[in-house]
Each structure stands twice: as C-alpha cells, then as structure tokens.
Amino acid sequence: MSSSIADRILALTAELNHYTDRYYQDSVSEISDQDFDKLLAELQALEAQYPALALPNSPTQRVGGAVNKSFETVQHRYPMLSLGNTYSLAELQDFDTRAVKGLGGITPEYVAELKFDGVAISLTYENGHLVRAVTRGDGIHGDDITANARTIRDIPLSLKHGNWPAHFEVRGEVYMPHKIFERLNAERLDIGEAPLANPRNTASGTLKLQDSAEVARRKLRCFCYYLMGEDLPFSTHAESMTALAEWGFPVSDSWRKCKSIEDVNQFIDHWATHKGELPLDIDGIVIKVNSYNQQQELGFTAKNPRWAISYKFEAERSCTQLLDIKYQVGRTGAITPVAVLDPVLLAGTTVKRASIHNANEIQRLDLHEKDFVWVEKGGEIIPKITAVELSRRHEGAQPISYITSCPDCGTELVRPEGEANHYCPNETRCPTQIKGKIEHFIQRKALDIENLGPETIDQLYTKGLVKNVADLYDLTKENLLTLQGFKDKSADNIVAGIQKSKQQEFAKVLFGIGIRYVGATVASKLASHFFTIEAVQAATREQLLAAPEIGDKIADSILAYFNNLDNVQVIERLKAAGLQFAQVVREVVLDGDALLGKSFVVSGVFSHYSRPELEAKIIANGGRLVSSISAKLDYLIAGENMGPAKREKAEKLNVKMISEDEFRAMIGDVS
C-alpha cells in the first residue's frame, strides 16, 4: 500500500508542478482551476496522512499554512546593494563616460533591463533546492521569509536539470500584478475594508504576513535579475540571465544587450512609452555592464556597484483643477470620496476623477475648494491626488469640509473610533446599501445567481419587488416579466438561478449575507468552526475570538450584525426558503486503493448512489475526479440521461465508458 501511495504522491507532485510551470512560465493553462485544486487537495490529504512521503518540491508548499511567529533576522552571504540613480540622459552619459574611463578606454557592452517596482528578495539554492528566501532589510541583514516565498508560484522550489552550481543565490523582485491588486482591493471594498494604497506596498506587506496561507491567496509574482555565487560557469550577465530562465526562474524577456549607451537610450525611449502595457509597475531602467571581468574591474563604491545604474522615469503627473468631491456609498455603508477634476491628459489617458480614499486624506492634502492639484498614476487604474499646487490657490478659498450625512438617504454619518472611513449606519434601509448588498449576495463567490446583473437589481428595487436578499426567493416569473426587456426565457433563467442557489454551501451563504469584514475566507473559517448559523449567532465575543482568524474587529462586526433585528429576520426568511445554514461534514475515509491513479468523469443520473456519494466513493478508493473528458481520462461513468455530446466525445477519444454496476464491481461494493 505505502509504495503505491508513494507512487501516487510522486505522480501528483509531478503533474501539478507541470501545470504550474506551464502556467507561470509559458502562460498556458492546461487544466481548469477546479481540477487543479482537486488534485492539490488529494495530494494534501495524502501528505497529511503520510508526511514522510512528501517530496521537497511538493506544490502543497505553495499553499502555505505555516504561521511565522516572527521572522528570524539573518545575515546576507553577499550584501544586497542598491543602485545609484540617474534622472536624465545626461547623467546616464556621465555613467558611461566613467565606465569607459574605468576600463581604460574600452566601451563596455551593456544589458538594459526593466526596473521592477516591487520588493527585493534574495533566494538561496543548495543542490538545486530553494533553502532560504530573505528580504533586503538593511542590505546586510534581512528577514527570513522562506515560508512565504515558497507560496510564490513562479519561484522554483526545485530546479530542472542544468549546469547550476551546488550553491548560489538569485536576486529578484517580488511584485503584485495590477490585476491581482485591483481584485484584492475590490474584495476589500466589498467587505468594507479600506483599500490598499498601491501594489508595491501591498507586495511588501504581504511578504511580511504571519500567515503564509494568506500570502498564497494574494498571488504574488517574481522576476529574477541577478545571479550570484562562486565559480559560476558564465562570463557575462546575459549568459546568467539566459541560464536562469532555462533553470526555471522567472526572467522577464524584456532585457536587451546594448552595444552602446545610444542603444540604451533607445531602450529607455521604448519603455517610457510602453510601460503602461506591462502587468506590473516599473519605475525605471537598470543598466548593467555585461562582462563579469569588466564588472570586477569597475568594482563598487561604498554603497553601489560602479558597473550598474538605474535610470528613473519621471513620475507622470499633471496639474488640474478640483471641481467637486462626490461621495460614494458602498454596500457596507462605507463612504468613499472621489475627486471630480477638470479633465486632463495623463500618461496617454484623459483623467476626470481621482480617488481620495477617506477624510484623513483630505486633511493630509489640506484640500481647499477649487484647488489646483497634482495627479499621478500609481499601480491603480484611477489616479490619485498627490499634492496641492499652493501657488494657484484662490484667495479666500475654504477648506473642504467632509459631509456629515449620507448623500443617498440623509442619515447622519458615523466614524467608528480608530477607523479612517465614515459610514452610513442606515444599513438595512439606505437604497445604495440595499442594492449593493444584493449584488454582493448574488456574486459568484457567494450565492452565484447567474443572469442577475446590477441593472435588473436596480429595476427590482425601484419597483419595490426586492428590498432585501430574502425577497429574491419570493420572486415569481410574473414579477420578472414586468421588468423592462424581460422575456419568457430570461425570466425563467433567473427563477432557475435563484432556485439553484439554495444548494450553495453554508460558507458561501455566510459570506453572501454580507457581514462587514467577513470575506470569503473568514466565512469559510467560521463555517468550519461553528458548523451552523445558530452557533455563529449565539456565539459570545470570547467564543468568536477563539475561532481561527477572528480578531476584535470581525468579532464586533458579527455581534453588531446579529443585534440588528432586520438582519435576523432576513436570515429566518432565507432559512424558510431552504438555503444551507449548516456545514455538511465531509470526512474522507479511505476505503481502499482499488482506483489509485485512475481518473473519472461522472455524468448522468445513478440509481444506487447519489451523485455526491458516487464522487465520494471515487476519492475514497484512491481515484480522482476530473471535470472534462480528454484522451488522458481513464473512465467515464455513464448514468442515465447522459448527454449525447459527452458520449460522442468519449467514443471519439477512446475513453472507456462504464456503468454504475461496473464501477461498483471495481471497488468491490456488493451491498
């Protein structure tokens, strides 16, 4: 048994690493996220049961889980130096002149690279395995953040075959792609958390999180740009970069060899206009002398290498007039001020609005009415105001005073102690909050009610048909047909979507009801800890605090939610409508390993098992479930009413089709 388990662990590790490599190195998705997670869960379960069989390059390390009590400070084997900065082409020319002089009149070949705006990291590899990841710190000592770095999927845990030395270090930049940053901020806004300032600070904060599972969820990325070690088998930086990429490190293919500083200028020109197309921020260009011998000849100053320099782009900013401040109300009542600007061109786009996060920001900027302000683009799509141009302030201009009542329902705003945000406390009656709560409830991560978009919700609310999420379950087809643009089919679809949502698991319902600060992850932890809504509702502050990941802020928010009778009534109605308010405990008890290594697709209706029972039997006997038919699939278990398209595909790909009874025979179920 244990040798077949070891084989399975080996196979799963190899398969999952293959998909990760394809995704992170070649940008190709060979498997759906769902199937990937299923395989990963299987590997995690096996490793938990047989820890000795876990492999050093197991993808489960990417999932995190280790809690870093505090980070150990360690000394860098090679100090992490920074680069000298230049801001003009003339200064760059001076760098070139100094280099030529230092090399006795020889013009060096350069490598020009992007200067990634993230957090520097040093990765140590021994015998092809990642053994340590350390932050820059003060350049001499840094924090050991290995557990967190392991969750970054494009940092290799073990290297492919290659001529890598037994010991070496790789330097790189950890960053958060714009897309992930925007998604994270949208999620935060959705649960009433203040948005994060920019991708760089977020990447830096994320690397220092205590909980590596949370780091894994944040989906950081990395670009490597420097190889260090003794007796490296290369004579140029360019060779090292090529080798790093071959060994499996994430290396941006944007770097170029430059024969002269003029070539470097062209590289700079190109990226000055194209940097907006990148998935991450860059704040300049790094220029390095290519030859290691020449690098050695040039050496270092006290702080920087003489063979490299960074050319920093001017921050792109424009000055324009502040016309007005609009206050947006979020679904949790959080108020976000947004500056309305005289339209101005910035980095190729016309900017009409800028975010100002909260009242503190207005105070910090000391914004006055009709001020001229400087706007800059960071990693965000919406630019932000960075400063006021005091020289253009109008005489007698009044400071902006923050609103005191909700722009939507007029209720007096509150600002909880210690929080930067103002809130409209009229949680269950403020129209914007109501519509926002319904949108939150139907989203994919919550009740996943398809075909119900913001416009429909707006119509439903305006017509008085839906005033809270429980009203959705009383909607009839006739109600929907009274809405603009609705026909038989669209109305049927929505009714069906609402019905289907009754099967969504408890954690999703708990997330969907929209308790402030309770995101999808927290909801899932609460569901697994308390099992039922009644238990969550009855929990004291102490009991809530004893649950994983629940701190004061979340505990207080849960208590406040259940103290509001309107909320309690909505929950009672949702219960009556048949939604899931209890966690289904699914324990995987291994029956045997008759199906070890075999993949299955289940389709149709069965007579002996229910669909979930059949799926559980596959897992319990060592098989694995996949969602689509491919040539690699071992078995399609065909039930009644299986779609003809599936049958046709299976026949075409020569996939073995078996009946429910044949499956039962395979696992020896004769009951």
Instruction: Report the interface residues with ligand IVH, using CB under 6 A.
Output: 81-83, 113, 115-116, 120, 136, 171, 173, 225-226, 286, 305, 308, 310
State the nearest-atom distance from the C-beta of 21 to ligand IVH, in Å.
Answer: 23
Strand pairing class (384-388; 624-625): unpaired
**346 is written with which tokens?**
């910035």
- Please confirm, yes or no, whether 115 is among the known catalytic residues: yes
Helix (H, G, I), strand (E, B) or coil at 328: strand
Distance CA 157, CA 172 (A): 15
Cβ proximity to ligand IVH: between 64 and 142 the closer is 142
Cβ proximity to ligand IVH: between 42 and 169 the closer is 169
State the nearest-atom distance from the C-beta of 241 to ligand IVH, in Å.
Answer: 10
Distance CA 632, CA 4 (A): 20
One DSSP character per residue, 491-511 reads HHHHHHHHHHGGGS-HHHHHH
The type of residue at 30 is E
285 in Cβ contact with 91 (< 8 Å)? no
The type of residue at 385 is I
Block residue for tokens 């329902």: 409
Cβ proximity to ligand IVH: between 124 and 310 the closer is 310
- In this chain, which residue has its C-beta nearest to ligand IVH? 120
646 in Cβ contact with 600 (< 8 Å)? no
State the nearest-atom distance from the C-beta of 116 to ligand IVH, in Å.
Answer: 4
Cβ proximity to ligand IVH: between 212 and 310 the closer is 310
Cβ proximity to ligand IVH: between 285 and 460 the closer is 285
State the nearest-atom distance from the C-beta of 422 to ligand IVH, in Å.
Answer: 37
Helix (H, G, I), strand (E, B) or coil at 640: strand
Cβ proximity to ligand IVH: between 265 and 451 the closer is 265
Which of 41, 43, 23, 37 is CA-nearest to residue 627?
A: 37
Cβ proximity to ligand IVH: between 244 and 520 the closer is 244
Distance CA 494, CA 504 (A): 16
Strand pairing class (256-258; 317-329): unpaired
State the nearest-atom distance from the C-beta of 154 to ligand IVH, in Å.
Answer: 16
Cβ proximity to ligand IVH: between 85 and 504 the closer is 85
**Among 38, 69, 101, 115, which one carries the catalytic annotation?**
115
State the nearest-atom distance from the C-beta of 273 to ligand IVH, in Å.
Answer: 19
How open is the CA angle 557-560-566, to the nearest 5 degrees? 125
| Residue 455, number of CB atoms within 10 A of its CB | 11
Q: How far is CA 317 from the centre of its chain?
A: 28
State the nearest-atom distance from the C-beta of 218 to ligand IVH, in Å.
Answer: 19
384 in Cβ contact with 362 (< 8 Å)? no
150 in Cβ contact with 61 (< 8 Å)? yes
State the nearest-atom distance from the C-beta of 284 to ligand IVH, in Å.
Answer: 8
How open is the CA angle 234-238-240, to the nearest 5 degrees? 45
Distance CA 610, CA 307 (A): 68
Q: How far is CA 78 from the centre of its chain?
A: 32
Strand pairing class (384-388; 599-603): unpaired
Question: Is the C-alpha dihedral spanning 417, 419, 421, 426 positive or negative?
Answer: negative
Distance CA 172, CA 123 (A): 8
Cβ proximity to ligand IVH: between 300 and 653 the closer is 300
Please tell me what DSSP assigns to residue 6: H
Residues known to be catalytic:
115
